[in-house]
Amino acid sequence: MESVQAIKQRFEIVGNDHLLNRAVEKAIQVAPTDISVLVTGESGVGKESIPKIIHSLSHRKHGKYIAVNCGAIPEGTIDSELFGHEKGAFTGATSTRNGYFEVADGGTIFLDEVGELPLTTQVRLLRVLENGEFIKVGSSKVQKTNVRIVAATNLNMFDAIKKEKFREDLYYRLSTVEINLPPLRDRQGDIHLLFRKFAADFAIKYKMPTIRLEDDAVELIQKYQWGGNIRQLRNVAEQISVLEQERNISGAKIKSYLPNIGSNLPAVISEKKKESDFSNEREILYKVLFDMKSDLNDLKKLTMKLMESGNLQDVKEEHEGLIEKIYGDSDDEQDIDDLNEEELKVLQIPQNSSNEKEDKYYFAEEIEEEETLSLQDKELELIKKSLERHSGKRKSAAEELGISERTLYRKIKQYDL
Protein backbone atom coordinates (compact mmCIF):
# COMPACT_ATOMS: atom_id res chain seq x y z
CA MET A 1 0.00 0.00 0.00
CA GLU A 2 1.35 3.41 -0.98
CA SER A 3 2.09 5.96 1.74
CA VAL A 4 0.04 9.10 2.31
CA GLN A 5 2.91 11.30 1.10
CA ALA A 6 3.35 9.24 -2.06
CA ILE A 7 -0.37 9.47 -2.86
CA LYS A 8 -0.42 13.25 -2.27
CA GLN A 9 2.55 13.68 -4.59
CA ARG A 10 0.97 11.44 -7.23
CA PHE A 11 -2.31 13.39 -7.23
CA GLU A 12 -0.67 16.80 -6.69
CA ILE A 13 -2.24 17.35 -3.29
CA VAL A 14 -0.32 20.09 -1.49
CA GLY A 15 -0.29 20.42 2.30
CA ASN A 16 0.77 18.72 5.51
CA ASP A 17 -2.20 19.49 7.73
CA HIS A 18 -3.17 16.52 9.91
CA LEU A 19 -6.86 16.78 8.91
CA LEU A 20 -5.93 16.62 5.24
CA ASN A 21 -3.59 13.68 5.88
CA ARG A 22 -6.35 11.85 7.76
CA ALA A 23 -8.76 12.29 4.84
CA VAL A 24 -6.19 10.88 2.37
CA GLU A 25 -5.42 8.02 4.75
CA LYS A 26 -9.12 7.05 4.96
CA ALA A 27 -9.38 7.13 1.15
CA ILE A 28 -6.41 4.73 0.90
CA GLN A 29 -7.95 2.38 3.49
CA VAL A 30 -11.41 2.12 1.85
CA ALA A 31 -10.12 1.95 -1.75
CA PRO A 32 -9.71 -1.90 -1.92
CA THR A 33 -13.32 -2.43 -0.82
CA ASP A 34 -16.58 -1.79 -2.71
CA ILE A 35 -18.34 0.19 0.01
CA SER A 36 -19.91 3.54 -0.86
CA VAL A 37 -18.12 6.70 0.21
CA LEU A 38 -19.47 10.20 0.83
CA VAL A 39 -16.96 13.06 0.61
CA THR A 40 -18.04 16.19 2.49
CA GLY A 41 -16.60 19.66 2.77
CA GLU A 42 -17.12 23.23 1.67
CA SER A 43 -17.09 24.25 -1.97
CA GLY A 44 -13.56 24.58 -3.34
CA VAL A 45 -11.70 22.33 -0.86
CA GLY A 46 -10.72 19.78 -3.54
CA LYS A 47 -13.25 16.98 -2.95
CA GLU A 48 -12.76 15.68 -6.51
CA SER A 49 -9.31 14.31 -5.58
CA ILE A 50 -10.66 11.73 -3.12
CA PRO A 51 -12.73 9.63 -5.59
CA LYS A 52 -9.76 9.60 -8.00
CA ILE A 53 -7.55 8.18 -5.24
CA ILE A 54 -10.18 5.57 -4.34
CA HIS A 55 -10.66 4.45 -7.94
CA SER A 56 -6.95 4.27 -8.75
CA LEU A 57 -6.19 2.10 -5.70
CA SER A 58 -9.18 -0.23 -6.13
CA HIS A 59 -9.57 -3.43 -8.15
CA ARG A 60 -11.73 -1.35 -10.53
CA LYS A 61 -8.81 0.83 -11.61
CA HIS A 62 -8.89 -0.66 -15.13
CA GLY A 63 -12.61 0.04 -15.45
CA LYS A 64 -14.19 3.36 -16.38
CA TYR A 65 -14.18 6.32 -14.03
CA ILE A 66 -17.02 8.79 -14.71
CA ALA A 67 -17.49 12.04 -12.81
CA VAL A 68 -21.00 13.49 -12.92
CA ASN A 69 -21.88 17.00 -11.69
CA CYS A 70 -25.45 16.43 -10.50
CA GLY A 71 -26.07 20.13 -9.97
CA ALA A 72 -25.21 20.99 -13.60
CA ILE A 73 -27.72 18.60 -15.25
CA PRO A 74 -31.33 19.86 -15.67
CA GLU A 75 -33.90 18.02 -13.58
CA GLY A 76 -35.83 16.89 -16.65
CA THR A 77 -32.87 15.07 -18.22
CA ILE A 78 -30.84 13.79 -15.26
CA ASP A 79 -32.61 10.39 -15.17
CA SER A 80 -31.79 9.95 -18.84
CA GLU A 81 -28.14 10.94 -18.25
CA LEU A 82 -27.68 8.54 -15.35
CA PHE A 83 -29.79 5.56 -16.42
CA GLY A 84 -30.25 6.03 -20.17
CA HIS A 85 -33.45 6.07 -22.24
CA GLU A 86 -35.21 4.14 -24.96
CA LYS A 87 -35.99 5.53 -28.39
CA GLY A 88 -39.17 7.59 -28.30
CA ALA A 89 -39.23 7.76 -24.48
CA PHE A 90 -39.74 11.53 -24.71
CA THR A 91 -39.66 14.31 -27.27
CA GLY A 92 -36.21 14.42 -28.84
CA ALA A 93 -35.29 10.82 -27.92
CA THR A 94 -34.53 9.79 -31.50
CA SER A 95 -32.39 6.82 -30.51
CA THR A 96 -31.63 4.57 -27.56
CA ARG A 97 -29.02 5.98 -25.20
CA ASN A 98 -26.93 4.21 -22.58
CA GLY A 99 -26.69 6.02 -19.23
CA TYR A 100 -23.62 6.48 -17.04
CA PHE A 101 -24.48 3.49 -14.83
CA GLU A 102 -24.52 1.22 -17.86
CA VAL A 103 -21.36 2.69 -19.41
CA ALA A 104 -19.41 2.55 -16.12
CA ASP A 105 -20.30 -1.10 -15.41
CA GLY A 106 -17.30 -2.57 -13.57
CA GLY A 107 -15.89 0.87 -12.80
CA THR A 108 -16.56 3.86 -10.54
CA ILE A 109 -19.05 6.73 -10.73
CA PHE A 110 -18.35 9.95 -8.88
CA LEU A 111 -21.58 11.86 -8.15
CA ASP A 112 -20.52 15.41 -7.35
CA GLU A 113 -23.09 17.69 -5.66
CA VAL A 114 -25.25 14.66 -4.93
CA GLY A 115 -27.38 16.79 -2.60
CA GLU A 116 -28.85 18.52 -5.68
CA LEU A 117 -30.44 15.33 -7.05
CA PRO A 118 -34.26 15.47 -7.47
CA LEU A 119 -36.21 13.21 -5.10
CA THR A 120 -37.43 10.99 -7.96
CA THR A 121 -33.83 10.39 -9.07
CA GLN A 122 -32.85 9.66 -5.47
CA VAL A 123 -35.31 6.76 -5.46
CA ARG A 124 -33.70 5.30 -8.60
CA LEU A 125 -30.21 5.76 -7.12
CA LEU A 126 -31.24 4.01 -3.90
CA ARG A 127 -32.29 0.97 -5.94
CA VAL A 128 -28.89 0.85 -7.64
CA LEU A 129 -27.14 1.01 -4.27
CA GLU A 130 -29.33 -1.72 -2.75
CA ASN A 131 -29.31 -4.36 -5.51
CA GLY A 132 -27.49 -2.92 -8.54
CA GLU A 133 -30.67 -2.65 -10.61
CA PHE A 134 -31.94 0.20 -12.76
CA ILE A 135 -34.49 0.80 -15.52
CA LYS A 136 -33.96 3.05 -18.51
CA VAL A 137 -36.38 5.92 -19.05
CA GLY A 138 -39.22 4.63 -21.22
CA SER A 139 -38.36 0.97 -20.65
CA SER A 140 -39.83 -1.76 -18.47
CA LYS A 141 -36.76 -3.99 -18.57
CA VAL A 142 -34.70 -4.24 -15.39
CA GLN A 143 -30.95 -4.08 -16.01
CA LYS A 144 -28.06 -4.91 -13.70
CA THR A 145 -24.90 -2.90 -13.17
CA ASN A 146 -21.81 -3.36 -11.04
CA VAL A 147 -20.47 0.08 -10.20
CA ARG A 148 -18.90 1.65 -7.18
CA ILE A 149 -20.46 4.97 -6.16
CA VAL A 150 -18.47 7.76 -4.56
CA ALA A 151 -20.53 10.87 -3.84
CA ALA A 152 -19.65 14.37 -2.69
CA THR A 153 -21.58 17.32 -1.33
CA ASN A 154 -20.98 20.72 0.24
CA LEU A 155 -24.44 20.74 1.86
CA ASN A 156 -25.32 19.97 5.45
CA MET A 157 -27.08 16.68 4.74
CA PHE A 158 -28.95 16.59 8.05
CA ASP A 159 -30.50 19.97 7.26
CA ALA A 160 -31.44 18.72 3.78
CA ILE A 161 -33.04 15.60 5.30
CA LYS A 162 -34.93 17.73 7.83
CA LYS A 163 -36.27 19.92 5.02
CA GLU A 164 -37.22 16.76 3.08
CA LYS A 165 -34.91 17.64 0.20
CA PHE A 166 -32.84 14.47 0.60
CA ARG A 167 -33.87 10.94 1.52
CA GLU A 168 -32.55 9.75 4.85
CA ASP A 169 -32.24 6.12 3.71
CA LEU A 170 -30.20 7.21 0.69
CA TYR A 171 -27.89 9.29 2.88
CA TYR A 172 -27.04 6.29 5.06
CA ARG A 173 -26.46 4.09 2.02
CA LEU A 174 -24.11 6.65 0.45
CA SER A 175 -22.21 7.46 3.64
CA THR A 176 -21.07 3.99 4.67
CA VAL A 177 -17.75 5.78 5.05
CA GLU A 178 -17.67 9.57 5.25
CA ILE A 179 -14.52 11.50 4.43
CA ASN A 180 -14.44 15.18 5.39
CA LEU A 181 -12.00 17.62 3.84
CA PRO A 182 -11.19 20.63 6.05
CA PRO A 183 -11.70 24.22 4.81
CA LEU A 184 -8.60 26.21 3.89
CA ARG A 185 -8.96 28.54 6.90
CA ASP A 186 -8.35 25.50 9.14
CA ARG A 187 -5.14 24.69 7.26
CA GLN A 188 -3.22 27.93 7.84
CA GLY A 189 0.16 26.22 7.53
CA ASP A 190 -0.75 25.00 4.02
CA ILE A 191 -1.94 28.32 2.59
CA HIS A 192 1.49 29.70 1.64
CA LEU A 193 2.57 26.31 0.27
CA LEU A 194 -0.47 26.24 -2.01
CA PHE A 195 0.09 29.84 -3.12
CA ARG A 196 3.71 29.10 -4.05
CA LYS A 197 2.58 26.03 -6.00
CA PHE A 198 0.02 28.04 -7.96
CA ALA A 199 2.46 30.92 -8.55
CA ALA A 200 5.02 28.49 -9.99
CA ASP A 201 2.39 26.88 -12.23
CA PHE A 202 1.22 30.22 -13.62
CA ALA A 203 4.78 31.42 -14.15
CA ILE A 204 5.31 28.43 -16.45
CA LYS A 205 1.92 28.83 -18.11
CA TYR A 206 2.31 32.54 -18.88
CA LYS A 207 6.12 32.43 -19.33
CA MET A 208 6.97 35.09 -16.77
CA PRO A 209 8.95 35.27 -13.50
CA THR A 210 7.35 33.71 -10.44
CA ILE A 211 5.66 36.09 -7.99
CA ARG A 212 6.79 36.02 -4.36
CA LEU A 213 5.04 37.23 -1.24
CA GLU A 214 6.70 39.42 1.36
CA ASP A 215 6.37 38.51 5.03
CA ASP A 216 3.41 40.85 5.70
CA ALA A 217 1.58 39.42 2.67
CA VAL A 218 2.16 35.85 3.90
CA GLU A 219 0.77 36.77 7.31
CA LEU A 220 -2.23 38.40 5.65
CA ILE A 221 -3.22 35.42 3.50
CA GLN A 222 -2.82 33.07 6.46
CA LYS A 223 -5.27 35.11 8.52
CA TYR A 224 -7.77 35.59 5.67
CA GLN A 225 -10.87 33.37 5.86
CA TRP A 226 -10.92 32.17 2.20
CA GLY A 227 -14.63 31.59 1.75
CA GLY A 228 -13.95 30.05 -1.68
CA ASN A 229 -11.15 27.89 -0.23
CA ILE A 230 -8.46 26.52 -2.58
CA ARG A 231 -10.39 27.62 -5.68
CA GLN A 232 -10.35 31.24 -4.48
CA LEU A 233 -6.65 31.07 -3.52
CA ARG A 234 -5.78 29.76 -6.98
CA ASN A 235 -7.83 32.53 -8.60
CA VAL A 236 -6.02 35.22 -6.57
CA ALA A 237 -2.62 33.74 -7.43
CA GLU A 238 -3.48 33.78 -11.14
CA GLN A 239 -4.74 37.38 -11.05
CA ILE A 240 -1.59 38.63 -9.33
CA SER A 241 0.66 36.63 -11.68
CA VAL A 242 -0.94 38.24 -14.74
CA LEU A 243 -1.63 41.79 -13.56
CA GLU A 244 1.32 42.77 -11.35
CA GLN A 245 4.53 44.03 -12.93
CA GLU A 246 6.42 43.93 -9.63
CA ARG A 247 7.08 40.27 -8.75
CA ASN A 248 7.54 40.86 -5.00
CA ILE A 249 4.07 41.33 -3.55
CA SER A 250 3.54 43.29 -0.34
CA GLY A 251 0.68 43.00 2.11
CA ALA A 252 -0.74 46.35 0.98
CA LYS A 253 -0.74 45.19 -2.63
CA ILE A 254 -2.40 41.84 -1.98
CA LYS A 255 -5.18 43.49 0.02
CA SER A 256 -6.74 44.77 -3.20
CA TYR A 257 -7.22 41.16 -4.35
CA LEU A 258 -8.96 40.00 -1.15
CA PRO A 259 -12.63 41.06 -0.95
CA ASN A 260 -14.13 42.11 2.39
CA ILE A 261 -10.80 41.83 4.11
CA GLY A 262 -11.84 44.31 6.78
CA SER A 263 -14.95 42.39 7.76
CA ASN A 264 -13.94 38.78 7.33
CA LEU A 265 -15.66 36.81 10.05
CA PRO A 266 -15.53 33.07 10.73
CA ALA A 267 -17.91 31.12 8.53
CA VAL A 268 -20.01 30.00 11.50
CA ILE A 269 -20.96 33.64 12.15
CA SER A 270 -21.25 34.71 8.53
CA GLU A 271 -23.74 31.96 7.78
CA LYS A 272 -26.25 33.36 10.26
CA LYS A 273 -29.01 35.12 8.40
CA LYS A 274 -30.40 38.39 9.72
CA GLU A 275 -34.15 38.51 10.05
CA SER A 276 -35.92 40.94 7.78
CA ASP A 277 -37.63 44.05 9.10
CA PHE A 278 -40.94 42.54 8.06
CA SER A 279 -40.35 39.48 10.23
CA ASN A 280 -39.54 41.65 13.24
CA GLU A 281 -42.67 43.75 12.75
CA ARG A 282 -44.76 40.62 12.36
CA GLU A 283 -43.43 39.20 15.63
CA ILE A 284 -44.23 42.45 17.44
CA LEU A 285 -47.74 42.45 15.97
CA TYR A 286 -48.29 38.86 17.07
CA LYS A 287 -47.19 39.74 20.61
CA VAL A 288 -49.57 42.70 20.75
CA LEU A 289 -52.45 40.52 19.53
CA PHE A 290 -51.70 37.81 22.05
CA ASP A 291 -51.56 40.40 24.86
CA MET A 292 -54.90 41.83 23.73
CA LYS A 293 -56.43 38.36 23.69
CA SER A 294 -55.14 37.73 27.21
CA ASP A 295 -56.60 41.03 28.45
CA LEU A 296 -59.96 40.24 26.86
CA ASN A 297 -60.03 36.83 28.52
CA ASP A 298 -59.22 38.44 31.87
CA LEU A 299 -62.00 41.00 31.37
CA LYS A 300 -64.47 38.22 30.55
CA LYS A 301 -63.41 36.38 33.67
CA LEU A 302 -63.91 39.48 35.83
CA THR A 303 -67.31 40.16 34.27
CA MET A 304 -68.48 36.62 34.99
CA LYS A 305 -67.35 36.94 38.60
CA LEU A 306 -69.36 40.15 38.92
CA MET A 307 -72.43 38.48 37.41
CA GLU A 308 -72.16 35.46 39.70
CA SER A 309 -71.48 37.27 42.99
CA GLY A 310 -73.59 40.39 42.59
CA ASN A 311 -71.25 42.15 45.05
CA LEU A 312 -68.80 44.48 43.39
CA GLN A 313 -66.78 45.20 46.53
CA ASP A 314 -66.10 41.51 47.18
CA VAL A 315 -65.04 40.96 43.59
CA LYS A 316 -62.79 44.00 43.79
CA GLU A 317 -61.03 42.74 46.94
CA GLU A 318 -60.72 39.17 45.68
CA HIS A 319 -59.45 40.08 42.20
CA GLU A 320 -57.53 43.28 42.86
CA GLY A 321 -54.49 41.93 40.98
CA LEU A 322 -56.59 41.10 37.93
CA ILE A 323 -58.17 44.57 37.94
CA GLU A 324 -54.74 46.22 38.09
CA LYS A 325 -53.54 44.01 35.21
CA ILE A 326 -56.47 45.11 33.02
CA TYR A 327 -56.58 48.79 33.91
CA GLY A 328 -53.01 49.39 35.03
CA ASP A 329 -51.53 50.16 38.43
CA SER A 330 -52.86 53.19 40.23
CA ASP A 331 -52.13 54.78 43.57
CA ASP A 332 -55.41 56.71 43.47
CA GLU A 333 -58.21 54.66 44.98
CA GLN A 334 -60.71 57.00 43.40
CA ASP A 335 -59.55 56.02 39.88
CA ILE A 336 -60.18 52.33 40.58
CA ASP A 337 -63.55 53.14 42.06
CA ASP A 338 -64.46 55.12 38.97
CA LEU A 339 -63.57 52.19 36.74
CA ASN A 340 -65.62 49.81 38.80
CA GLU A 341 -68.49 52.28 38.75
CA GLU A 342 -68.37 52.37 34.95
CA GLU A 343 -68.64 48.60 34.93
CA LEU A 344 -71.57 48.81 37.33
CA LYS A 345 -73.34 51.32 35.12
CA VAL A 346 -72.97 49.08 32.07
CA LEU A 347 -73.77 45.78 33.76
CA GLN A 348 -76.57 47.06 36.10
CA ILE A 349 -76.08 44.15 38.49
CA PRO A 350 -78.77 43.86 41.23
CA GLN A 351 -77.17 43.81 44.70
CA ASN A 352 -79.40 41.39 46.59
CA SER A 353 -80.84 38.95 44.08
CA SER A 354 -81.82 35.60 45.53
CA ASN A 355 -82.63 33.93 42.23
CA GLU A 356 -79.63 33.41 39.91
CA LYS A 357 -81.84 32.65 36.92
CA GLU A 358 -83.86 35.84 37.42
CA ASP A 359 -80.62 37.83 37.74
CA LYS A 360 -79.50 36.68 34.30
CA TYR A 361 -82.80 37.65 32.70
CA TYR A 362 -82.64 40.99 34.46
CA PHE A 363 -79.14 41.56 33.11
CA ALA A 364 -80.27 40.86 29.55
CA GLU A 365 -83.28 43.17 29.86
CA GLU A 366 -81.19 46.00 31.24
CA ILE A 367 -78.64 45.69 28.43
CA GLU A 368 -81.49 45.90 25.93
CA GLU A 369 -82.84 49.04 27.59
CA GLU A 370 -79.37 50.53 27.74
CA GLU A 371 -79.41 50.88 23.96
CA THR A 372 -82.09 53.60 24.25
CA LEU A 373 -80.68 55.47 27.28
CA SER A 374 -77.56 57.57 27.64
CA LEU A 375 -75.02 56.41 30.20
CA GLN A 376 -75.13 59.73 32.03
CA ASP A 377 -78.96 59.67 32.39
CA LYS A 378 -78.87 56.13 33.72
CA GLU A 379 -76.15 56.99 36.22
CA LEU A 380 -78.11 60.02 37.46
CA GLU A 381 -81.27 57.92 37.82
CA LEU A 382 -79.47 55.25 39.88
CA ILE A 383 -77.90 57.79 42.24
CA LYS A 384 -81.23 59.54 42.80
CA LYS A 385 -83.05 56.26 43.55
CA SER A 386 -80.37 55.12 45.97
CA LEU A 387 -80.32 58.43 47.83
CA GLU A 388 -84.09 58.42 48.09
CA ARG A 389 -84.12 54.84 49.35
CA HIS A 390 -81.63 55.69 52.11
CA SER A 391 -83.12 59.07 52.96
CA GLY A 392 -80.12 60.98 51.66
CA LYS A 393 -77.52 59.00 53.61
CA ARG A 394 -74.48 59.03 51.34
CA LYS A 395 -72.59 56.23 53.10
CA SER A 396 -75.48 53.74 52.73
CA ALA A 397 -76.16 54.82 49.16
CA ALA A 398 -72.47 54.46 48.24
CA GLU A 399 -72.39 50.93 49.68
CA GLU A 400 -75.48 49.99 47.68
CA LEU A 401 -74.01 51.42 44.49
CA GLY A 402 -70.67 49.70 45.14
CA ILE A 403 -68.59 52.89 45.04
CA SER A 404 -66.70 54.90 47.64
CA GLU A 405 -68.42 57.68 49.56
CA ARG A 406 -65.91 60.13 48.13
CA THR A 407 -66.85 59.14 44.57
CA LEU A 408 -70.56 59.49 45.39
CA TYR A 409 -69.95 62.94 46.85
CA ARG A 410 -68.17 63.99 43.66
CA LYS A 411 -71.07 62.67 41.54
CA ILE A 412 -73.62 64.54 43.68
CA LYS A 413 -71.66 67.71 43.18
CA GLN A 414 -71.28 67.01 39.43
CA TYR A 415 -75.04 66.52 38.91
CA ASP A 416 -75.95 69.31 41.36
CA LEU A 417 -78.19 67.03 43.42
pLDDT digits over 231-272, tens only?
999 999 999 999 999 999 999 999 999 987 755 444 444 444
* pLDDT(3) > 80: yes
Nearest 5 degrees, angle CA 228-CA 230-CA 236?
Answer: 80
- At residue 176, the 3 state secondary structure works out as coil
Q: Are strands 142-144 and 133-135 parallel, antiparallel or unpaired?
A: antiparallel
The CATH homologous superfamily of the domain defined by 4-182: P-loop containing nucleotide triphosphate hydrolases (3.40.50.300)
What confidence tens digit (pLDDT) does each residue in 39-56 have?
A: 999 999 999 999 999 999
Radius of gyration of the chain (CA): 40
pLDDT of the residue at 260 = 77
CATH architecture of the domain formed by 191-270: Orthogonal Bundle (1.10)
CA–CA dist 282, 280 (Å, integer)? 5
- Mean pLDDT on 268-287: 56
CB environment 276-304: b (16+ within 10 A), e (fewer): eeeeeeeeeeeeeeeeeeeeeeebeebee
What confidence tens digit (pLDDT) does each residue in 141-161 have?
A: 999 999 999 999 999 999 999
Domain ranges across the chain: 4-182, 191-270, 277-414
What confidence tens digit (pLDDT) does each residue in 364-382 have?
A: 444 444 444 566 777 778 8
Rounded to the nearest 5 percent, the helix, strand and coil shares of the chain are 55, 10, 35
pTM above 0.75, yes or no: no
What confidence tens digit (pLDDT) does each residue in 326-336 have?
A: 555 444 444 44
